[in-house]
């Protein structure tokens, strides 16, 4: 047998091994890409939920800032004095309903 024939036979024996190795690598890469895709979708959902939460918290912050501004007004102080402390202006008459 010549050297060329031996090399061809050795290469022919190695082809199925190489093919199997490439096939295994493709399967591994495919499985890994699927898991990364699932993780990506889950992270996108989490990001969307967090974005919505951030927006709602920003709205809440604005509402609290508005409330803080209102609480510093004279109207609010009068309201608290009347409802919680029962205070009235000197010329103001307080009418209370009769208890039954």
Could you report the per-residue pLDDT of 3-48, keeping only the tens digit for each? 556 666 677 778 888 999 999 999 999 999 999 999 999 999 999 9
Domain-embedded: residue 59:
yes
Burial classification of residue 82, based on how many CB atoms lie within 10 Å of its CB (0-12 exposed, 13-18 middle, 19 or more buried): middle
Q: Is residue 92 part of a domain?
A: no
DSSP H or E stretch at residue 65: helix 3-71
Q: What is the pLDDT of residue 81?
A: 87
pTM assigned to the model: 0.56
Residue 52 lies in a domain: yes
Q: How far apart are CA 11 and CA 5, in angstroms?
A: 10
Q: How many domains does the chain have?
A: 1
The domain of 62 spans 3-83
Q: Is there a domain that residue 11 lies in?
A: yes
Domain membership of residue 96 (yes or no) is: no
Q: How far is CA 91 from the centre of its chain?
A: 57
């Amino acid at each position: 047998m010549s050297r060329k024939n031996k090399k061809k036979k050795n290469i022919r024996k190695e082809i199925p091994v190489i093919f199997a190795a490439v096939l295994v690598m493709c399967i591994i890469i495919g499985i890994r890409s699927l898991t990364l895709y699932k993780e990506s979708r889950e992270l996108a959902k989490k990001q969307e939920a967090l974005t919505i939460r951030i927006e709602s918290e920003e709205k809440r912050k604005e509402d609290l800032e508005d409330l803080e501004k209102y609480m510093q007004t004279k109207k609010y102080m009068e309201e608290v004095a009347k409802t919680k402390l029962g205070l009235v202006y000197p010329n103001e008459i307080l009418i209370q309903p009769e208890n039954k």
